[in-house]
Structure 1
Amino acid sequence: MEAWSIILLLITIFLSAIIAFLLFHSKKSPLPPGPPSIPILGSLLWLRHFPSLFNIEILLRKFRSQLGPIITLRFGFHTCIFIADCALAHKALVELGASFSSRPPPSPYSRFRNSRILNISSSPYGNQWRLLRRNLTSEILHPVKIHLFAPARRWVLGLLLNDLRTRSEQSPKRAVVAMESFQLAMFALLVFMCFGEKLGEKAIREIETAEREPLLYASKYMRVFAFVPKLLSRFMFQGRLRAMARLRQRQVDLFLPLISARRENQKQAREQRFVYSYVDSLLDISLAEEGGRKLTDDEIIPLCSEFLVAGTDTTAAALQWIMAEIAARTSVQAKLLEELKGINGEEIKEEDLQKLPYLKAVVLEGLRRHPPAHFVLPHSVIKDVEFGGYLIPKNASVNFTVADMGWDEKLWEEPMAFKPERFMAGGDGEGVDITGNREIKMMPFGVGRRICPGLGLAMLHLEYFVANLVREFEWSAVDGEEIDFSEKFEFIVVMLKPLRARINPRRKVY
C-alpha cells in the first residue's frame, strides 16, 4: 500500500506539472506560423536543396499567401522569423527599434574562435556596439570626414577609367567584363580609407583575395555547424575548421604589418599633414569599462576586415547592376547623358552631384530593383517580445525581406520594371526616404538603429562613379549578345553572368 501511495503521489505531481506547464504557456502568444518541422532538420523537408538565401526566399513567397507576412522557419536548433511587410518592418525597426536592435548569438562555428573577436555588424546591442559604431560614424563616415577622401576618389576614378579604356582597346568588339574592374577600384579606395596607404595593384589584390576566400568558404562549408550539436561539433568537420583557420591567418599576415606601421608612425604623422584612416581611429579607442585599455591587434583586424567587405562588395555589385541597366536601356542612358552635359569640365565632381536629380533617380531605382542583399543582417530582440499577436523569442533570428519589400506591387507600379522616372516629380517613389524613418517603401541599407552606417558613403560612391562612367564611355550590349539579369547568391546578390558590355570612349564635346 505504501509503494502504491508513493506511485500515486508521483503520478499526481507529474500530471499537475504538465497541467501547470500547459496553462502557463497557453497564456503566452504563439510563435508566428510556419511549415511543419522535424527535430534537428527543422524546416529542411520543405527545401529541395541545402538552405540558401535563394531557396529560402522562394519558400517564403510560397507560404506568405497561406501564412501571412510573419513566418517561422526552423534550421537545426535555431528559430528564424521572417517579416515580409513594410508596415510591420517599420513597427519593428523604428517604433520598437530598441527591442529589435540586437543580434542573434554568434554563428556556431565562431565558438571555436576567440570570443573577443567581434565587429560592429555582429556585436549585440550594448556599450561595445555603441562605442565601435560611434567611432566609425564620427571619425570616418561623417560627411566632413568623407569629403577629406575626395582626392582618393579622384585617384581611384582615374585608375578605373584607364583600366576600362585599356580593356576596351584590347578587345576585338570593345567588349569588357566590368565587374573585376569595379571590384578592384572599390577595394583600392576602401583599403586607402582603412589603412591610409596607396598600395600597389598586387598588394590590393592579395588583400582582396584574403577577404573574399573566407566568406565564400564559410557560405559553402560552415553552415553545417547549425545542424550539429555543440558537443559533437568538437569532434566533427575538423578539416573545415582547420581550413577556415588557415584562411583567417592569411588575413592576419597581411593586415598586421599595415596596422603596426600605422601605430609606429602615428605620432610622427600627426605632426604633419596626413590622412586620418580607420585604423588610426581604432588605435585611438580606449575601453573605459576595461580600465581604459586599447584595442588589441586581434580585435582591430576583424574590424578592418568588416570595413573592407562592407564597403566594397555591396557597392561594386550595385554599380554593376546599375551599369547593366544603363547599357540595356538606350533611353535611360541618353536622358542621363543629357543631364550630365549641363556640368562643365571633363570630370563630374562631388559637388556637382546635387545638381543631377535624374542621376540620383537612376541610382535609387538600381538599389530598389537590384538590392545587393535580399535580406538585411539578422536582428534579434533583447527579450521576449509580443509582436503582431505572436511571440518573438529572445535569441531568435529576425529577418526582413528587403527585395520583396522593394518589389511590392501594392507600393510600386510595375515593380519589376526599371523606371528611374518613378523617383522624379509625380512618381510613386518621389521623395522616398531610404532611411525608413518616416515609412518603409525600400530598405537596401536596412532601417533603424542598425541601419548601415555607410549609407551616405555608398550613395556618394554610386552617384560619383556612375556619373563619370557614363560621361566617359558609351555603354551598350555586345553585338549578338543580350545582357542577362539573372541573379546568383554568394554572400551578396550578384549577376549570374557578370556584365559584359561594349564600351566606346565618348567624343569630348563638353
Structure 2
Amino acid sequence: MDVITAVMLVLLLMVLAWSYVLGSNSSRHRGKLAPGPYPFPIIGNILQLGRKPHQSLAKLSKTYGPLMSLQLGSIYTVVVSSPEIAKEVLQKHDHALSGRTIGAAAQVHNHHNISMAYLPVGDQWRKIRKLCKEQMFSIHRLEASQSLRQEKLKQLCDYVRECCCVKGRVVDIGEAAFITSLNLMSATLYSEDFTSFDSESTTQEWRETIRGVVKTVGAPNFADFFPVLKRFDPQGIKQEAEFYFGKLLDMFEDVINQRLHSRNTASPNPPPKKNDLLEALLDLGEGSEDDFYSCNHIKHLLLDLFTAGSHSTSSTVEWVMTELLLSPTKMSRAKNELRIVVGENKQVEESDISRLPYLQAVIKEVLRFHPAGPLLIPHKSEADVEINGYTIPKNTQILVNVWAMGRQSSLWSSPNSFEPERFLENKVVDFKGQDFELIPFGSGRRMCPGLPLANRMLHIMVASLIQNFDWELEPGTKPEDVDTTEKFGLALHKAVPLKALPVFNYKTK
C-alpha cells in the first residue's frame, strides 16, 4: 500500500486515533518539554520526516536545537543531535533511558521477547550480552578464528582476480562485500560458509532474506505511529516481516539441526569438534533445562547477529570504496601505506591493522560521513528524566542522530568533505563509544556488542581489496557521474550500487 493510501486510511480513522493521542498525551505534559516544530492534528510531524529522516531531522535541529520534540502520530519523540546531550542520554541517564521502542515488524514470531536488541535490560538480556562477549567477541575467541576469516578474504581476492581476467568485467562492490561479510561471520559463528561467489541462487536467497528483515524493521510504519491500526497492517509491513523473519529463522534452524545431527551421529572417526559460537551454545545447553539455550533462542540470536553484521558491514565497505575511488590521492596513500608496512609479497592480516594509521583514519572518516545506523536503534525512557532543563517523560521514544553529529561544522572542519587526514591530526577520537562526536555503534549498555568483530572485518576487507588490486570506475563513468545518494533504512546504504573495474596489481601475489 502506498503512502497516500495509508494517509487516507489514517484520516478515515481519525476519531479513534485522535482519542488515543489525547489519552496518551494527558499523562505526558509534566514539566517543560523540549522545543520542536508545531505538530499537525492527528498525524503530528510525520510528514516532516520525508524519505531521509536523518537529514530532515538534522535540518530541523538547526532551528529547534540539539534536544528537539516531535509528535509522530501518537508517539512522543525527542531527537538528540549533539555529543553533549548524547552523553547525557547514553551514559549519565543510561539506565532510565535504556528501553526500546518496538515496532510491529520486530514483534513477529515473538522476536522482541527473545532478541538481544529489543529485550529490556534485565537478567535475560545480561545473560545474552555476557554470552556474546565471552563466546564470540572476546580477544581470545577472535584470535582463534582469525585463520577462518583469512580464508574468506582469500576467496574474495580470488573472485576479484577472476574478474580481472575477463576484460571489462566489473565488480559489484556491495554484492562482493555482502558475500564476504556473510561468510566472515559464518566462519566465526559456525565455522562454515553460508554461500559462495559461484553460487548465485544461494547468495541471492540469503541477501534477499536478510535485506527483507532489515527493510521491514527499518521502514516507517503507520501502524507504529497509530497503534489502533496494528490489527489492519495498512502498509502490509507486518505481513512482509512475518515472511522474511520466518524464512530466515527456518534457514538458521536448518543450520542448527545439521550441527546437532553431526554431534549425535556415532562415527569411528568423528570429525574434530568445532570451536565456534554455535558449538559453545550447544555445549552449554546440554543437560540444561534453561530455555535460554533452546533451538528457538539460538536461531533468534543468530538472526540478530547476522542481520546487524552482514548488512551494515557490506554497506560500509561499499561507502569506503566509493569515497576512495572518488579520491585517487587518498586511495594511493592507503595503498602505499600497505605496501610499506605489510610489504609487497605478504597478504595483510588482522594483526597488521594497528600498524596502519591511515587505513584506520579512512574507516573512521567513513563511519563519520556515512554511519551505518544514522539514528541508531530507538531508545525509550522508562521514567521521567530531566536533561538541560527539559523533561523527557516516561515512554518517550528517543532518536540519537549520529549522522547529524558527524556533519556539524562546530565539531568537524569541512564536515561535508571526505578527509581521513583529520583523524591523523586527532588520534584521540575513536568510535569505541567514549567519544560522543563519533558513535556509529552507539554507547552505554545498549552499544553494539559486535563492534570488536566489525572493527576487524571492516579494516581487513578494505585492506585486502586495495592491497591486491588497482581500481577504476565502471567504464564510461566519470567521477562527477557517481551517484552518492543515501537510501535510508535500518542501515544507510548507497541508493545506486557501486560497480568498479579491478586491475590486478602484479606487485603482489
Tell whether the structures are fold-level matches, with TM greater than 0.5: yes
Q: Which stretch shows the higher mean deviation, 132-141 or 356-365? A: 356-365
Q: What's the secondary structure of 2:100's corresponding residue?
A: coil
Question: How far off its partner does 1:284 sit?
Answer: 4.6
Deviation string 1:200-251 (CA, Å, 9 cap, x unpaired) is 534454333322223324545x713114444x53355596544433333322
Q: Distance in 2 between matches of 1:374 and 1:396?
A: 19
Q: Distance in 1 between matches of 2:223 and 2:145?
A: 41
Distance 1:167 1:286, change over 3 A: same
1:280 equivalent to 2:279? Answer yes
**1:430-509 map, 5 Å:** 430-437=427-434, 439-481=435-477, 482=479, 483-508=482-507
Q: What's the secondary structure of 1:420's corresponding residue?
A: coil
1:183 equivalent to 2:182? Answer no
Q: Which stretch shows the higher mean deviation, 255-264 or 373-382? A: 255-264
Distance 1:380 1:116, change over 3 A: closer
Question: How far off its partner does 1:57 sit?
Answer: 2.8
1:155 equivalent to 2:157? Answer no
Identity of aligned residues (%): 27
Residue in 2 that maps onto 1:11:
none
Residue in 2 that maps onto 1:59:
56
Query: Which residue identity lines up with residue 178 of structure 1 in the other structure?
Result: I
Distance 1:433 1:94, change over 3 A: farther
Distance 1:42 1:108, change over 3 A: farther
Distance 1:191 1:37, change over 3 A: same
Checking the alignment, whether the CA contact within 8 Å between 2:381 and 2:394 is kept in structure 1 is yes
Residue in 2 that maps onto 1:73:
70
Q: How does the TM-score come out when normalised to structure 1? A: 0.84
1:123 equivalent to 2:119? Answer yes
Q: Distance in 1 between matches of 2:149 and 2:392?
A: 44
Q: Distance in 2 between matches of 1:110 and 1:199?
A: 24
Q: Distance in 1 between matches of 2:301 and 2:56?
A: 34
Checking the alignment, whether the CA contact within 8 Å between 1:380 and 1:395 is kept in structure 2 is yes
**1:412-423 map, 5 Å:** 412-423=412-423
Q: Distance in 1 between matches of 2:259 and 2:339?
A: 42
Distance 1:62 1:411, change over 3 A: closer
Residue in 2 that maps onto 1:215:
214
Q: What's the secondary structure of 2:439's corresponding residue?
A: coil
Checking the alignment, whether the CA contact within 8 Å between 2:79 and 2:399 is kept in structure 1 is yes
Residue in 1 that maps onto 2:44:
42
Q: Distance in 2 between matches of 1:263 and 1:406?
A: 46
Aligned residues: 474
Question: How far off its partner does 1:86 sit?
Answer: 0.7
1:225 equivalent to 2:227? Answer no
Q: What's the secondary structure of 1:73's corresponding residue?
A: strand
Query: Which residue identity lines up with residue 299 of structure 2 in the other structure?
Result: I
Distance 1:45 1:315, change over 3 A: closer
Residue in 2 that maps onto 1:32:
34
Q: Distance in 2 between matches of 1:29 and 1:107?
A: 27
Q: Distance in 1 between matches of 2:216 and 2:103?
A: 14
Q: How does the TM-score come out when normalised to structure 2? A: 0.85
Deviation string 1:375-404 (CA, Å, 9 cap, x unpaired) is 111112231111111111222211111111
Deviation string 1:318-358 (CA, Å, 9 cap, x unpaired) is 11111112122221122222211122333012222222111
Question: How far off its partner does 1:459 sit?
Answer: 1.5
Query: Which residue identity lines up with residue 396 of structure 1 in the other structure?
Result: T
Q: Which stretch shows the higher mean deviation, 254-263 or 34-43? A: 34-43
- Give ranges in structure 2 of 5+ residues lacking alignment: 1-26
Deviation string 1:393-424 (CA, Å, 9 cap, x unpaired) is 22221111111112221121111111111111
1:328 equivalent to 2:323? Answer no
Distance 1:99 1:430, change over 3 A: same
- Give ranges in structure 1 of 5+ residues lacking alignment: 1-23
Distance 1:145 1:205, change over 3 A: farther
Q: Which has the larger radius of gyration?
A: 1
Query: Which residue identity lines up with residue 275 of structure 1 in the other structure?
Result: K
Q: Distance in 2 between matches of 1:25 and 1:504?
A: 61
Q: Distance in 2 between matches of 1:92 and 1:238?
A: 32
**1:65-464 map, 5 Å:** 65-104=62-101, 106-110=102-106, 113-114=109-110, 117-172=113-168, 174-201=169-196, 202=199, 203=202, 205-220=204-219, 223-230=221-228, 233-235=230-232, 237=234, 241-266=238-263, 273-284=272-283, 292-342=290-340, 343-344=342-343, 345-424=345-424, 427=425, 429-437=426-434, 439-464=435-460
Deviation string 1:447-505 (CA, Å, 9 cap, x unpaired) is 11211111121111111121121110012323541233221223311112211222211
Checking the alignment, whether the CA contact within 8 Å between 1:284 and 1:294 is kept in structure 2 is no
Checking the alignment, whether the CA contact within 8 Å between 1:210 and 1:250 is kept in structure 2 is yes
Query: Which residue identity lines up with residue 357 of structure 1 in the other structure?
Result: P
Q: Distance in 1 between matches of 2:106 and 2:485?
A: 33
Checking the alignment, whether the CA contact within 8 Å between 1:406 and 1:443 is kept in structure 2 is no
Query: Which residue identity lines up with residue 297 of structure 2 in the other structure?
Result: E
Q: What's the secondary structure of 2:421's corresponding residue?
A: helix
Checking the alignment, whether the CA contact within 8 Å between 2:109 and 2:245 is kept in structure 1 is no
Q: Distance in 2 between matches of 1:334 and 1:490?
A: 32
Q: Distance in 1 between matches of 2:331 and 2:319?
A: 14
Q: Distance in 1 between matches of 2:66 and 2:235?
A: 39
Q: What's the secondary structure of 1:460's corresponding residue?
A: helix
Deviation string 1:236-276 (CA, Å, 9 cap, x unpaired) is 5596544433333322332222112323444789x964333
Deviation string 1:128-152 (CA, Å, 9 cap, x unpaired) is 1111011011110111101112122
Q: What's the secondary structure of 1:71's corresponding residue?
A: strand
Q: Which stretch shows the higher mean deviation, 125-134 or 235-244? A: 235-244
Q: Distance in 2 between matches of 1:462 and 1:111?
A: 30
